[in-house]
Structure 1
Amino acid sequence: MHSDQPIQHAVILLHGLCGSGLEMGSIPKALRKNGCAVIELLIPNYSAGHVDPDVTPHWEDWCAVVDSEITRLKANFKTVSICGLSMGATLALAVASRSTEAIAIVALSPVLRYDGWSIPWYQHLMQIPFFLGYKNWSHKEGEPYGIKNFDMRRRVANALKKDGVAAVGAAAIPARQLRGAHLMMAYVRKSLKKVKTNILVIHAIDDETASPKNPELILEKVSSEMRKVIWLGDCYHIITVDNEREIVTNETVQFLMKNIEMHLKDISYRELNNHSPLKDRRG
Structure 2
Amino acid sequence: MITDVSFFYKGGRAGVLLIHGLTGTPAEMQILGKGLHKHGFTVYGMQLAGHCGDENDLLATSWHDWYDSVIRAADRLLEHVDTMFVGGLSMGAVLALKYTADHPENVKGVGVYGPTFVYDGWSIPRYIQRSVFLLKWFKALGIFQKSVFIERPPYGLKDERIRKTVSESMLSGDSAKGGLAGNPLGSLAEMQELAKQTAAQLHDIKAPCLIMHSNHDDIANMETNSGLVARSVSGPVKMIPLENSYHMITIDRDRKKVIQESANFFGALCTKDQLVPPAVNPFIREIA
Shorter-normalised TM range: 0.7 to 0.9
Letter in 2 for 1:177: S
Query: Would the alpha carbon gap of residues 176 and 250 (structure 1) be closer, same or farther in structure 2, given more than 3 Å must change?
Result: same
SS at match of 2:200: helix
> Which deviates the most, 232-241 or 47-56?
47-56
1:136 aligns with 2:146: yes
Please identify the structure whose Cα radius of gyration is greater: 1
Separation of aligned partners in 2, 1:193 and 1:231: 22
Q: Is the 8 A contact 2:23 2:180 kept in 1?
A: yes
Aligned partner (choices 163, 170, 173) of residue 160 of structure 1? 170
CA distance in 2, matches of 1:108, 1:155: 22
What CA distance in whole angstroms lies between the structure 2 residues aligned with 1:74 and 1:16?
22
Q: Paired residue for 1:84, among 63, 73, 88?
A: 88
Residue equivalent to 1:271: none
Question: 10, 16, 20: which one pairs with 2:15?
Answer: 10
* AA aligned opposite 1:133: G
SS of corresponding position for 2:126? coil
Using the alignment, how far apart are the partners of 2:14 and 2:53 within structure 1?
Answer: 28
What is the alpha-carbon distance in structure 2 between the residues aligned to residue 56 and residue 165 of structure 1?
16
Give the residue type in structure 1 aligned to 2:84: V
Root mean square deviation, CA, Å: 2.5
What residue in structure 2 maps to residue 21 of structure 1?
26
| 1:28-43 equivalence runs, <5 A | 28-43=33-48
- Conserved in 1, the CA contact under 8 Å of 2:112 and 2:209? yes
For structure 1, which segment, 114-123 or 213-222, has the greater mean C-alpha deviation from structure 2 after superposition? 114-123
Instruction: Say if 1:188 and 1:235 are closer, same or farther in 2 by CA, change over 3 A.
Output: same
Deviations 1:23-70, CA, capped at 9 Å, x for gaps: 12421111222222211112222x222865485533233223222332
2:72 to 63, 68, 72: 68
Q: Write out aligned runs for 1:1-283 (5 A).
A: 7-45=12-50, 47-49=51-53, 52-53=56-57, 55-100=59-104, 101-123=106-128, 124-125=130-131, 127=135, 129-134=138-143, 135-165=145-175, 169-213=179-223, 214-224=225-235, 226-261=236-271
Of 119-128 and 195-204, more deviation after overlay is shown by 119-128
Question: 62-71 or 197-206, which moves further after superposition?
Answer: 62-71
Is the 2:167–2:178 contact (alpha carbons within 8 Å) kept by the matching residues of 1? no
Size of the aligned set, in residue pairs, is 258
Q: Deviations over 1:98-133 (max 9, x none)?
A: 111111110110011111112222224252544442
Q: Secondary structure at the match of 2:81?
A: coil
Give TM-score, length-normalised by structure 2: 0.81
Q: TM-score, normalised by structure 1?
A: 0.82
Equivalents in 2 of 1:69, 1:166: separation in Å? 18
- Determine if contact 2:156/2:219 at 8 Å carries over to the other structure: yes
Residue pair 1:7, 1:37 contacting (<8 A) in 2 also: yes
Supply the AA of the counterpart residue of 1:259.
Answer: L
State how far apart, in whole Å, the 1-side matches of 2:112 and 2:61 are.
Answer: 22
Q: Is the 8 A contact 1:194 1:223 kept in 2?
A: yes
Structure 2 portions without partners, runs of 5+: 1-9, 275-288
Paired residue type of 2:175: V
Q: Call closer, same or farther: CA 1:115–1:103 in 2, change over 3 Å.
A: same
- For residues 28 and 74 of structure 1, what CA distance do their matches in structure 2 show? 17
Distance 1:80 1:263, change over 3 A: farther
Contact 1:25 / 1:167 at 8 angstroms: preserved in 2?
no
